[in-house]
Structure 1
Amino acid sequence: MSQKNIKSVIHGYSRKKEEEQTQLVAKENNLPYINLVNYPFTGDVLEIIPNAIAKKNMVIAFNRLGNTVRVATPYPHNVGLSEVMNEIGHRKNILFEPHVCSLSSINFALTQYDKLVRRTSDTSAKAKQKSIDEFLKEIATLTDFASALGGVSITQLFESILSGALAFDATDVHFEPQSEHVRIRFRVDGELLDAASIDHGEYHLLLSRVKNLAHLKLNRQMGPQDGRFSIAVGKGQIDVRVNVLPATYGETIELRLLTAQELLSLERLGLAEGTKQAIERNIKRENGLIVITGPTGSGKTTTLYAVLSLLNKPDVKIITIEDPVEYKIAGIEQIEVDHAAGFDFSQALRAVLRQDPDVILVGEIRDKETAEIAINASLTGHLVLTTLHTNSAPATFARLIEMGVPTYLLADAISLIIAQRLVRRVCASCNGKGCPKCGNTGKKGRVVISEFLEPSIEFAELIKNKATLGEFAKVYKELGYKLLNDDLQEKIAKGLVSPTEKLG
């Protein structure tokens, strides 16, 4: 073994012993232990304790969650630690949460000031600090957004990206590390659009910020992580669902933006008149199962919430079971499943039935057990709303039979099936010609294309005989129901939708 390798082994051994000893110190003092070597610090958190004070008192700020700031020191009985926490905590209205770290940790952390805090200051000096409002005034198109983002300081980068996404009505933001840069894309009206790019250094700080907000493990980089957080952007508050996934050039981030917008009415969704009337008929019933079906991204949840808004009255008890809760609704009890804890849809549904509800929303039927409980609930005095993944209204029967649901339950339980898709609307401002409001695409927003089915004796016979999808579809058409494509063609004829739009 070479001299260099021997030194490396000795250093590694001594470092391991140092961290083990530090863990014992933390345990003796009933304080959490943290290893900060290679920790992904951010400049805005480090700055909470200025560099000179951090060096003098050997204490570092490494993580912030709201008004709580986690700090670390090798010396938990250091008088300077108490003084720093009391003085800065009082002045900045911060609650400090002390941790114990090794001397190597604190020395590594102190080197990060020059790399991160100075960089933040330099960026602010080079580019005039913009408020979010000023930033938004500069972006009429995605090209404007990419250009304006270059003039934003690192401390405002994340909020500026979220503000831009909301300005373009994006439902999702994608951060995708490439070899030379990190690509940012927005999903707008179902289309994934290139928005901007940032360098890897900026992204490293942004990734740490997102992980902190979503309570994800900062040092975990080899597996997927899911989280959620709320953040104030501009004048509003949004909920953000987070997924982080390791990829070739670094961890990718997918953000689902859930804005606290008012629930859409059936009219604003653009539901066909026949579908709307069928919903209004069936929600007057005291029991029954209403199924909204379609592929992922077809707007099923939005339609469910629109139906709930019609049912949400003081004398009606509504409980929802969701994965996750996407929009919070006043007057409704909303429950979120937790698969990791074994609390799935079927378990939640059993518990909900003991709460004396009038209306139950089950976010999705994924298995036979959940389907059977939901169906039995609909047969015993409850109105149940749910979703299913199929491509057409008649396919719902075939899918549930395929799951193994007893046919004698199906025939009596289901009162209404709605199948739907989302297609892009013609921009109302320019009638499809292209303008700044639609990013010169001629399209702005989306509209629901739907078909519905109210089970009759013909379908009861097919269910009893476990008919095929083809047989269900044949009878559906013979009974004169309008198909998804019929609704699409009607909306094209009315000028609401471009002739180039296709059903997914």
Structure 2
Amino acid sequence: MANLTIEGAARLGEQLVRDGVITSEQLADALARQQARGGRIGGVLMDAGVISAAALAEALSKRLGVKGCVLRHGLIDPKVAKCILKEEAERLQVLPLFRVRDELTVAMVEPKSLPTHDRLRNLTGCTIRPVLVLEENLREYQRKYSAADVNVDSFLASMEESDIHITEIEAVDEGPVTDLDQMIEGSPIVNLVNLAILTALRAGASDIHIEPDRDATHIRYRIDGQLREMLKPPKGMHAAVVSRVKVIGRMDIAEKRLPQEGRVHIVADGREIDLRVSSMPTILGEKIVLRILDKSQLSFELSDLGLRGADRAAVEAMIHSPYGLMLVTGPTGSGKTTTLYSALDLLRNEATNIVTIEDPVEYQLSLINQIQVNVGVGLTFVRALRSILRQDPDVVMVGEIRDEDTARVAIQAALTGHLVLSTLHTNDCPGAVMRLLDMGIEPFLISGSVLGFVAQRLARKVCASCKTSYYPPPDLLQSVGWGHRTSELFPKGEGCRECNNTGFKGRVGVFEVMVLDAELKRAIHAGASQTDMRMYLAQTGWKSLREKALEVIERGESTIEEVLRVSRSEALVAGDPTGAAVEAVP
């Protein structure tokens, strides 16, 4: 229970006086002691011996409108009490008491705390029924009942079939649709895997990490680009969890020495979801990562990605060009594939032959011929691309240009009347030119084939439900070149149940667009450096990736800290219009 203010303490004390539990003189004395020494008014009254724990719990229960209790052994199911990690239970000031179907009754010091309710739901998958308990009473029973590790096995063993249910599953190789519960009916491991998947879907996670440790298994979700631990089953469950995931992913459960890949199609919460499964042997056991591909939650609208105004118009012009090469650059996880899919979505129709080469194919789109790279049988990007050019394509999408051979074939395709879309792993647009040169591509081929470059990052958006304003510290403002703006308010999120108390929910794209005009093509052909290109671009009013990121802050969509997280920590140097010192961190 949070410390009561003097005003709040007085209100509680007045209620105790009205109920005849204490006298006015005792209240006045307790308030004076609280002001002098601090602490909670209830604790002060109990220390003075004028009120019992039961009477205080009853008064607080009445004031908050939540049932109260005094913990005792017969009230607590030991198995249920151990379903939450000890450290987590102590941090949240909670203790699970018992469970009836999908309703979990939890003793809480702060029964009205929405972030605590949200965290408990994420950890257990249950509806939470709070009861008020005094902190001292809670600590006593936490020591007796809380588990050193999450006793997920005991908790999940009590779950019924209706608690966690994934309707159906199918193999990516057109295998039969199977009822999930028929495979391992009633197993706690099935329930645990289902729980991990369903809670990840409901939390908006993009990936589920199942990692072995010396004494536990860590189940973490990547939400808005950040990993968060959600469950911590004991190490003894790890092998069974890995085997279960391998079974549904149609992988070899006996092979533990080599990496494997699989794919699962499920229906959960009424949504069709694809899961891309990857296993990797480590010294402590196999690690599993499940990539969640939820097409229903994905928008292919360029405006939804964050492209606006002149940048959007420039990108759309490149996409609708009859031939040429458009390259999207950025680190892994920056949204490059989504941008390419958005381009394909604009182009696909019955009159256009679109072919893609991907590794892997993430989303299946109608009217598009999608090819999965298979190095094991020799189907590489280069080999597939050469074959595609004999298939009369109008548009070709190459998932990634990784080497000189792929780059050369892509450029030749662009020079011979095809529109080619692809990605590069570089920090920014001028850097992409240097990357192609480093691969061995001649300057005249780059200037003759490339339409332009799009560099991008994903910044977390301030949660709309808890968005507020504050005055950032001067050194933080100075780090982005805004040292003169100390009297201005900037956005941030306070944290709430909607954003899992992070202050962020969702992400917005930050884009740097560089179209190769005649002057840039001449400069590249003449061997211009990155600095030369930036100097010319600055004269045209072009804005670097960092400057575009600062615009996101100006629009109130993200924070200064987030912009620094997705780009280098160096501030934009005052008087440096090129932004040459600013590059993004992969």
Q: Same fold (TM over 0.5)?
A: yes
1:416 and 1:455 in contact (8 A); partners too? yes
Tell me, yes or no, if structure 1 residue 216 matches structure 2 residue 216.
no
Asked if the contact 1:229/1:241 (under 8 Å) is kept, the reply is yes
Match of 1:55 in 2: none
Is contact 1:140–1:437 with CA below 8 Å preserved after alignment? Answer: no
> Is the counterpart of residue 331 in structure 1 residue 367 in structure 2?
yes
Q: Distance in 2 between matches of 1:315 and 1:142?
A: 50
Residue-by-residue CA offset, 1:316-359 (whole Å, 9 max, x unaligned) = 12111110100011111111111111111111111111111111
**Per-residue deviation, residues 57-79 of structure 1 (Å, max 9, x unmatched):** xxxxxxxxxxxxxxxxxxxxxxx
Which residue in the other structure is 2:436 paired with? Answer: 400
Could you report, residue by residue, the CA deviation over 1:365-385 in whole angstroms, capped at 9, with x for unpaired residues?
111111111111111111111
Amino acid at match of 1:479: T
Provide the C-alpha distance between the structure 2 equivalents of 1:162 and 1:488, rounded to a whole number of angstroms. 33
Q: 1:232 to 1:202 in 2, by over 3 A?
A: farther
In structure 1, the residue matched to 2:166 is none
Whole-Å separation in 2 of the counterparts to 1:288 and 1:164 = 44
Quick one: which of 201, 205, 219 aligns to 1:166? 201
Are positions 1:200 and 2:235 aligned together? yes
User: Hey, what does 1:465 align to over in structure 2?
Assistant: 526
Hey, what's the Cα distance between the residues in 2 that align with 1:274 and 1:253? 42
Q: 1:331 to 1:176 in 2, by over 3 A?
A: same
Q: Deviations over 1:26-64 (max 9, x none)?
A: xxxxxxxxxxxxxxxxxxxxxxxxxxxxxxxxxxxxxxx
What is the CA distance between 1:404 and its match in structure 2?
0.6
CA contact (8 A) 1:278 1:416 kept: no
Instruction: Report the identity percentage.
Output: 39
1:143 deviates by 4.1
Any residues of structure 2 matched to 1:79-478 within 5 Å, and which?
130=102, 141-148=118-125, 150=152, 151-153=155-157, 154=188, 155-261=190-296, 262-431=298-467, 432-478=493-539
What's the CA shift for 1:476? 2.8
Paired residues of 2:125 and 2:195 also in contact (CA < 8 A): no
1:416-450, Cα deviation, whole Å (9 max, x unpaired): 21111110001122222322111122210000001
Contact kept? 2:218, 2:232, Cα under 8 Å: yes
Q: Match for 1:486: what amino acid?
A: E
Amino acid at match of 2:407: A
Q: Judge conservation of contact 1:237–1:259 (CA < 8 Å) in 2.
A: yes
**Is the Cα–Cα contact under 8 Å of residues 143 and 195 in structure 1 kept in the other structure?**
no
Alpha carbons 1:140, 1:439 under 8 Å: kept: no
What is the aligned length? 375
> What amino acid sits opposite 1:441 in the alignment?
T
The residue that corresponds to 1:78 in the other structure is: none
- Calculate the aligned-residue CA RMSD, in Å: 2.3
CA distance, structure 2, for counterparts of residue 139 and residue 164 of structure 1: 16
Shift of residue 469 of structure 1? 3.0
The amino acid that maps onto 2:266 is I
* Conserved 8 A contact 2:125-2:199: no
**3-state secondary structure, aligned to 2:232:** strand
CA distance in 2, matches of 1:487, 1:407: 28
3-state SS of the aligned residue for 1:170? coil
In 1, Cα distance between equivalents of 2:302 and 2:465: 22
Q: Which amino acid aligns with 1:385?
A: L
Q: 8 Å contact 2:459–2:509 — kept in the other structure?
A: yes
State whether residues 395 and 472 of structure 1, in contact with CA within 8 Å, keep that contact through their aligned partners in structure 2.
Answer: no
> How far apart in 2 are the matches of 1:129 and 1:290?
55
- AA aligned to 2:254 is N
Alpha-carbon separation, structure 1, partners of 2:268 and 2:256: 28
Mapped to 2, the partners of 1:280 and 1:164 lie a distance apart of 37
Task: Assess, with a 3 A threshold, how the Cα gap between structure 1 residues 214 and 139 changes in structure 2: closer, same or farther.
Answer: farther
Query: What CA distance in whole angstroms lies between the structure 2 residues aligned with 1:366 and 1:202?
Result: 39
Deviation at 1:235, TM superposition (A): 1.5
Contact residue 146 and residue 197 of structure 1 kept, 8 A: no
Q: Alignment partner of 2:156: what SS?
A: coil
CA deviations 1:74-117 (Å, max 9, x no partner) are xxxxxxxxxxxxxxxxxxxxxxxxxxxxxxxxxxxxxxxxxxxx
Q: Which stretch shifts more, 325-334 or 226-235?
A: 226-235
What TM-score, normalized by structure 1, do the two folds share?
0.70
Give unpaired runs (5+ residues) of structure 1: 1-122, 132-137
1:354 match: secondary structure:
coil
Greater shift, 222-231 or 338-347, is seen at 222-231
**Alpha carbons 1:181, 1:199 under 8 Å: kept:** yes
Give the match's secondary structure for 1:280: helix
- Partner letter of residue 543 of structure 2? K
**Using the alignment, how far apart are the partners of 2:116 and 2:204 within structure 1?**
13
Unaligned runs of 5+ in 2: 1-82, 84-97, 104-114, 127-151, 158-187, 468-492, 568-586
Distance apart, 1:140 and its partner CA: 6.1
Cα 1:401–1:140 change in 2 (3 A) is farther
- Return the alpha-carbon distance in structure 1 between the equivalents of residues 227 and 198 of structure 2: 17
Counterpart residue type for residue 403 of structure 1: M
Distance (whole Å) between structure 2 residues aligned to residue 477 and residue 342 of structure 1: 45
Q: Deviations over 1:211-242 (max 9, x none)?
A: 12223222222232222222232322222222
Equivalent of 2:553 in 482, 492, 502: 492
Mapped contact 2:315–2:513 kept (Cα < 8 A): no
The Cα of 1:300 is off from its aligned counterpart by: 0.4
| SS of match in other structure, 1:319 | strand
Q: Is the 2:305–2:508 contact (alpha carbons within 8 Å) kept by the matching residues of 1? A: yes
Q: CA deviation at 1:492?
A: 0.6
Q: What is the SS of the residue equivalent to 2:332? A: coil
Distance 1:467 1:158, change over 3 A: same
